[in-house]
Chains A and B, each alone.
Chain A
Amino acid sequence: MRSDFRMGLITIIAAFILAMVPLPDWAENLRPDWVALVLIYWAMALPSRIGVTSAWLAGLMLDVTHGAILGQHAIGLVIIIYVVHLQHQRLRVASLLQQALFILILLLFKQLLVLWVDGIVGRSTDAWLYFIPGLVGAMLWPWVYIILRDLRRQFIYRAM
């Protein structure tokens, strides 16, 4: 296992922990999609290592943690990670604000897919609340980006 891949795996596990840590009721609807944010970063920074297949596997795990239908989150993650993969060279040189806006669109699209599947299965609830995690995620993107980038750099320097 290459060291950068292991690094990616550890941060994704951390994202899963953040996704499951109990929060007070008012904050529960604000929780950003940590797994998606971390996967987007790695798809951008290490597209040759972490791509659509990792996204799909992580998505299946996310379905199990959410008690959702298997594939519901996986399909959304695969599509947004594919888009990031196609655009990763442009995204890398974009400013943090531009990245955040792009990621906002991706996160909202993923939530829309999840909402569609919920609708098809017949369990739709307050639809507008569904989009709040996307907004929070985009707002937190600069921090996620900087933290993961520093982690990666430090790790690579140490490895050399």
Chain B
Amino acid sequence: MKPLFLRGPSVTLRMILLVVASIVLMTVDHRWNHLQVVRNTLSHLLYPLQYTIDLPVRFYYWADEIFTTHDNLIEENRALKARQLENRVQLQKLDIVERENERLRLLLSATPKTREKVLISEIIGVDVDPFRQLFIINKGTSDGIYVGQPVIDAHGVIGQILYANALTSTVMLLTDASHAIPVQVDRTGLRSVAFGTGHNDQLDLKHIPQNTDIVVGDMLITSGLGGRFPNNYPVAIVTAVEKVAGETFAHVRAAPLALLDQTREVLVVWNDEQTQDEAQAEESESTEAVDDAQ
């Protein structure tokens, strides 16, 4: 027979213990990022579910590839070849400019520019928190991905790795409300920090004095300060500059260049200089810096 009254006090006790455990977990997770093991283990359990949910999307892409006609393929091939030719012509010029740049840097005895390594990864089609700007990609620590690594697409910076698990990682878009990225105005060299707003088409530039030379249409590129994002990647275009008389700072808004809600493939970038250990040592510092800035 089932007991009529379930073990009353023990349930209360368990509830209190679990609430305390949750508070401890939250504190540890937020302050020191030491719970990667727990997160990793749980994500292993979740991976089959995520994979299953993503299957229809995969199937769609697969079927799309299978059922394309011969003519379509030939046409696409031609278009791609033409584009490759164009790109190669432009690359020739770029090569010369880059060598010249290196020579000049040597003359100035500045540090030579580094080249970056990239890895293509696919977005897994599962929804994360609707109130945050996050998504999941199908590469993880087993591919060498680490927390804080920059993520870009063909048009600009997308964001950075928030959590790296063994098989998947969570990417935080640069429009997330807790994200900030150091940028530079391409035209004038003015440095600033672009804060995410929680809306996927808007970034805020803070602490820009009223008399600064910044206009709508200015391109923002990564400044490389902070050491997390490599420099000179396009980030956003300034969409609004409001200068209210009597206020110290101008309100500057920008729209990210990366197609944040349309891409399926993204590129994860390795900075050549930055070894993984350095990155991990920096990690805690710069997350705190972002938190402080908020």
Hey, which bits of chain A sit against chain B, CB under 8 A? Answer: 13, 16-17, 19-23, 25, 28-29, 31, 47-48, 51-53, 56, 59-61, 64-72, 74-75, 78-79, 82, 85-86, 117-118, 121-126, 129-130
Contact = CB atoms under 8 A, between A and B. Distances in A.
Contacts of B125: 22
Contact of B128 (A29, A48, A56, A65): A65
B6 A130 contact: no
Contact of A70 (B15, B25, B178): B25
Interface stretch (B36-44, B90-98, B101-109, B277-285): B36-44
Nearest to B26: A71
A64 B170 CA distance: 10
A74 B17 CA distance: 12
B46 A66 contact: no
B30 A21 contact: no
B46 A65 contact: yes
B14 interface: yes
Contacts of B214: none
26 contacts: A13-B49, A17-B53, A21-B127, A22-B125, A25-B261, A31-B130, A48-B2, A52-B14, A56-B18, A56-B22, A60-B25, A64-B46, A67-B134, A68-B129, A69-B30, A70-B25, A70-B35, A71-B23, A71-B25, A71-B29, A79-B19, A82-B12, A82-B15, A118-B131, A121-B30, A123-B177
Contacts, number: 129
B114 interface: no
A82 B11 contact: yes
- For chain B, give the interface size range: 35 or more
B138 interface: no
A150 to B, nearest CB: 22
A131 B291 CA distance: 26
Contacts of B29: 69-71
Nearest to B38: A70
A102 B78 CA distance: 63
B126 interface: yes
B294 interface: yes
Please name the 4 residue pairs, one residue from A and one from B, whose CB atoms are nearest each other, closest first: A71-B25, A75-B22, A71-B22, A125-B198
Given A22-B53, A48-B6, A67 B162 contact: yes
B42 A121 contact: no
A19 B134 CA distance: 15
B149 to A, nearest CB: 16
Contact of A67 (B6, B18, B128): B128
A142 to B, nearest CB: 24
